[in-house]
Structure 1
Amino acid sequence: MAQSPAADPAMARRIRADVEFLASDNLEGRDTGSRGYAIAADYVASQFRAIGLEPAGEKGGWFLTVPFRRASYEVQPKLALTAGGKTVVLEPGKDFGLRPSVLAKSRKLSAGFVFVGYGLQDRRYGFDDYRGLDVRGKIVVALAGSPGGLASDVDAHLNSSKERVVAAQGAIGYVELSRNNGSAGRFDPVQRGSRPLVDWIDSNGVAGATPAGMQLQLSFSQDVAEQLFVGAPKSLSAIRAEAKSKGRLRGFNLRPTLAVESESKWEGYTSPEVIGLLRGSDPTLAAQHVVLMGHLDHLGIKPDAKPGEDAIYNGALDNAAGVATMLEAARQFAAQPVRPKRSVMFIANTGEERGLLGADYYANHPTVPAASIVGLVDLDMPVLLYPFTDVTAFGADHSTIGATVADAGRSMGISVAPDPMPQEAIFTRSDHYKFVRKGVPAVLLMTGYANGGAAVWGNYLSKVYHSPQDDLSQKIDWDSGARYALLNYRIAREMADSTQRPMWLQGDYFGDLFDPSGPRAPAAPAR
């Protein structure tokens, strides 16, 4: 492996300057739609201009405005459960949580329930938990998780897709139950079920994270969850025991019914994606786009901070560092005497902390032809607190980008390690996943666990992640930031200059699912 090049001090200084600005207290945590985020977006746009990029947003500008809707309650919803011939009025926050709706201000309906096992449907793995069940107009009840035995990223994808499957089957609501005693899995805890809900809503009334037809997203307490199975072939405790001892579960109709009345309050606001373009030099390949992206938003200000307590979620590493290194990669592109053959887009995403919403909006409303986006690298939360010697490229096993990352790393003495925390389902929890769902080969690049990284990551995730401590008081290794930026430049440069566009590997699950007719590369032989 090549000797790792010494970090360029000028690169390190530029990255430090960008992070110090973006993670400043004055930007108040860069919450989506906030004044602090707007300032950060203007800053990134100004840097794009200084670098020499072209604006690639809407109407010839730097921005793509994402229309958000926040739904909340002024009056708590009313729910009544009828089970075993007895109707009980449920108590909000104690017995249930019901998410506000971004699609219907008023909801007044009554529906029955159907248990669907794990609620999975996938042709390749033979899952069809809805077989023989009619869930149209019903509330689906499913157990969290899957039977196991799946690759972690496939498992995470199937779990994150359950509500889309529910809506596609014609059901109107979804309840997910934990595999152990407790309230529902997806919307835990019950007390949080009535928190404000944020989603994008486009001009056609389409929502991003809320599938059309999905009227109810519910959680229930343990006691109420057990009541759903009154008169059923199996009790909830028997189902949980069965889930531990065997794989797949058979579904069945449930006897109780639920009556719902609610009024949602809506607030509309906007927040921009920031998009810059370096146009390619090849007359043919310039029509294709390679994307480098990182999310610009963070969590804002802690609403319940005590007097004198640090209340600002600065997001220095999550993800000011990702955006700063993306900017530096753009500078490296612009500094070269020869432009890349393919065009390269640089995107600072909004709404990642709200559920990958900005990236999802762009993936559904791209400012270039959707088919022209051929590959993507997502820079999210590089933990620049140690001299990293390896990286993890989440998604690398699915496409030729994995080999590109390995080659670029090898040129710098940096190895590529497998996912060190598969239980965290990272592959579906960052912005690149929204482009994977559109058939685009993509990876998420994070600093790795070697050379002391495991301990640093463990401390960061347990004590700093999503806390006000992710600020500039940390001992950030700016030289590592320079090396991370250079690595991403080399990855993107190879993607942009290669004679072959990034391709899914032959037989890959995600490629076959989301881009079945696209080009393929031979899969690497098993080692």
Structure 2
Amino acid sequence: MKRYFSLTLITTAILAGCATTSITSDDVAKGYNSIQADEIAKHVKVLASDEFGGRAPSSEGEKLTLDYLTKEFTALGFEPGNGDSFFQEVPLVSLEADSDMVLNIGGKDYQNKKDMVMGSSRISAQEGIENSELVFVGYGVNAPEYNWNDYEGLDVKGKTVVMLVNDPGFATKDPNLFTGDAMTYYGRWTYKYEEASRQGAAGAIIIHETAPASYPWSVVENSWSGEQFGFVKDNNNMDRVAVEGWVTVDVAKELFTKAGLDFDTAKAEAAKGAYHVDMGDLAATVNVKNTIKKSVSYNFIATLPGSKTPDEHIIYSAHWDHLGTDKNRKGDQIYNGAHDNATGTAGMIEVAEAFTKLGKRPDRSMTFLAVTAEEQGLLGSKYYAANPVIPANKTVANINMDSLNLLGKVKDISVVGIGKSQMDELLATAAKEQGRTVSGDPKPSSGGYYRSDHFAFANMGVPAMYAGGGSEAFDEETANYRKRMSLVLRGCYHQPCDRYRDEWDLSGAVQDLQLFYKVGFDISQQTQWPTWNENSEFQRK
């Protein structure tokens, strides 16, 4: 059912100095109301179909995805966003560790996937550690601005560091420690391996716990096994630790006991201040045999040129990729990635179509960027940030769409990383017209602002918004549905069961996409650009 929305022409409460335009409020409403649940579903069904094979980078599923995006955006009248091409090449290398490996510590073999997951980021056929001494380094953080260094006075060359996931603020909930319950980048697994490498360690092992990681062991088991993609570098990543991986918390507790330590006590000490302790005479041995494949994947980029300042762009982003197909898995082998992130990719198409309903193009260009290899560590967006098709000083703002709301209409909209930029205020103004309010990150401990593709734009200095969903159901019927479906969605994160379901309630996704469209339109018509707030760690460079 179409829902007409009363729209003011341009938001005036936030940014001063509006430009005049012949686009009427009725024109804006046409685009707004064109965003429909059945259209979102249509795109998701295709992108998340078995035919697309889980949309792994450099696979047949990638080709099918890029062909689909090209067809859809061409039909909408969008132009290639990278010169005469819709594509940006992203050189990748895939490393697939032989699954038949064991991690030996203290004379006991720990099994791949069941007890641990190990791999190597080095572009090498074989890497390993042999009798490498274990050192517990707390959270594995070196953060001068927080006066915290778990490595202080410690030489870990040739050793394997063992560390906790997340950061100390999560453990204590102290708002004065890091950022309290909200994860910082120091809590991310990517940082922990990077810092261990900078410190000269031979190996790096993260202890998995579901609450601070924000996902169960099954996500580690599925996401860090099979093909792992990275960038092709001149040094073949030889500056990384030889072996990096995860162990279950039960394995960790066993190792601490063998070392004459108590895991819970050591964990508590690690949250009080910079901390490290040798793990007795425990040493680790594991050999990682890699199958190496170099390939090229692609970011997709399409543009609707602006009518007045076409060199200034508002960029909408979403990642098109997922985990692909695991032929070694019993039963369902395809990770269809319907929620994550066929929904975001479908939403991007819907918002793009909405801008074609205006009758006249917005003042600034509207650009849509679907990136590759997000599931492999935000590689597509990282590559774009390092090699921007549109320079940062011509990129006005970024709006990111990752895993849309499938839980029905809500009275609020959650903003991940709330308080960082004026984008929040623009969103609040648009949300008010829907009768909604802006709420904070529903799970700040998961570090969501550092886990999707807007993060690359933030690092470029571009104000980037990542929002969607909410916690306050529209009515009792929706509340009951949310309880049922949220369990399904949570259990299917990075699992083969993340597939399209007819019982999804996409009305909440429609709400959010309409807001993203309205915020992008308002920014496109404003004279001034949105800015970062003073207390944000990101600023225009």
Task: Please report how far the alpha carbon of residue 276 of structure 1 lies from its aligned counterpart in structure 2 after TM superposition.
Answer: 0.7
Q: 1:30 aligns with which of 55, 75, 96?
A: 55
Q: Is the 8 A contact 2:399 2:465 kept in 1?
A: yes
Task: Please report how far the alpha carbon of residue 194 of structure 1 lies from its aligned counterpart in structure 2 after TM superposition.
Answer: 8.1
CA change 1:11–1:178 in 2 (3 A) is: closer
1:158 partner amino acid:
Y
* Aligned: 1:409 with 2:431: yes
* Aligned: 1:295 with 2:319: yes
* Aligned: 1:129 with 2:150: yes
Q: 1:277 aligns with which of 303, 306, 310?
A: 303
Q: Which segment is superposed worse, 101-110 or 114-123? A: 101-110
| Residue 357 (structure 2) aligns with | 335
The two structures, once aligned, show a CA RMSD in angstroms of: 3.8
| Residue 433 (structure 1) aligns with | 455
Any idea what SS the aligned residue of 1:236 has? coil
CA change 1:294–1:78 in 2 (3 A) is: closer
1:198 partner amino acid:
Q
Task: Please report how far the alpha carbon of residue 62 of structure 1 lies from its aligned counterpart in structure 2 after TM superposition.
Answer: 0.7
| Residue 265 (structure 1) aligns with | 291
Inter-partner Cα distance in structure 1 for 2:236 and 2:481: 42
- How do 1:387-406 and structure 2 match up within 5 A? 387-406=409-428
Deviations 1:332-388 (A, max 9, x none): 223334433433320112223334332233223322224433421111122245233
Task: Please report how far the alpha carbon of residue 421 of structure 1 lies from its aligned counterpart in structure 2 after TM superposition.
Answer: 2.8
1:498 partner amino acid:
Q
- How do 1:205-354 and structure 2 match up within 5 A? 212-220=239-247, 235-237=260-262, 240-244=264-268, 247-253=272-278, 256=281, 257-258=283-284, 261-283=287-309, 286-301=310-325, 303=327, 312-354=334-376
Inter-partner Cα distance in structure 2 for 1:294 and 1:442: 13
Gaps of 5+ in 1: 519-527
| Residue 360 (structure 1) aligns with | 382
- How do 1:89-108 and structure 2 match up within 5 A? 90=109, 92-93=111-112, 97-107=117-127
2:319 partner amino acid:
H
Any idea what SS the aligned residue of 1:330 has? helix
Inter-partner Cα distance in structure 1 for 2:449 and 2:438: 16
Inter-partner Cα distance in structure 1 for 2:201 and 2:329: 41
Gaps of 5+ in 2: 7-28
Q: 2:89 aligns with which of 60, 65, 70?
A: 65
Deviations 1:384-420 (A, max 9, x none): 4523333212123111111111112123333222222
Task: Please report how far the alpha carbon of residue 490 of structure 1 lies from its aligned counterpart in structure 2 after TM superposition.
Answer: 1.0
Q: 1:8 aligns with which of 33, 43, 66?
A: 33
Q: 1:196 aligns with which of 216, 226, 229?
A: 226
Q: Is the 8 A contact 2:316 2:399 kept in 1?
A: yes
Task: Please report how far the alpha carbon of residue 506 of structure 1 lies from its aligned counterpart in structure 2 after TM superposition.
Answer: 0.7
CA change 1:487–1:97 in 2 (3 A) is: closer
Task: Please report how far the alpha carbon of residue 248 of structure 1 lies from its aligned counterpart in structure 2 after TM superposition.
Answer: 2.0
Q: Is the 8 A contact 2:313 2:364 kept in 1?
A: yes
Any idea what SS the aligned residue of 1:326 has? helix
Inter-partner Cα distance in structure 2 for 1:172 and 1:374: 42
Inter-partner Cα distance in structure 1 for 2:401 and 2:35: 21
| Residue 405 (structure 2) aligns with | 383
Residue identity over aligned pairs, in percent, reads 28
* TM-score (norm. length: structure 1): 0.79
Q: Is the 8 A contact 1:98 1:216 kept in 2?
A: yes
Task: Please report how far the alpha carbon of residue 190 of structure 1 lies from its aligned counterpart in structure 2 after TM superposition.
Answer: 9.5
Inter-partner Cα distance in structure 1 for 2:505 and 2:328: 32
Any idea what SS the aligned residue of 1:272 has? strand
Q: Is the 8 A contact 2:203 2:243 kept in 1?
A: yes
CA change 1:98–1:325 in 2 (3 A) is: closer
CA change 1:373–1:198 in 2 (3 A) is: farther
Any idea what SS the aligned residue of 1:273 has? strand
Q: 2:77 aligns with which of 52, 55, 61?
A: 52
What number of residue pairs does the alignment pair up? 491
Task: Please report how far the alpha carbon of residue 437 of structure 1 lies from its aligned counterpart in structure 2 after TM superposition.
Answer: 3.5
